[in-house]
Structure 1
């Protein structure tokens, strides 16, 4: 479905929401945060049952 992945920007917090999740949404997701002095990555595995 179009637009079933939503990114919410709430100041310093960002939220990735998957709406009406399908089996095809399963997989690896990566968030990257960058500043002028550093980069941080978070990798998450999403399982859909």
Structure 2
């Protein structure tokens, strides 16, 4: 199954909000998300 990966900046543009708001909402609700199902941690 293929997944489309969007970074916070892209999500902010799509939802017409700030990247900070996207990150704040993610951090506030992190316990609801399952890593590698709802989000991927990309490092580099």
Report the TM-score when normalising by structure 2. Answer: 0.22
Structure with the largest fraction of helix: 2
Report the TM-score when normalising by structure 1. Answer: 0.21
Structure with the largest fraction of strand: 1
* Higher Cα Rg, which structure: 1
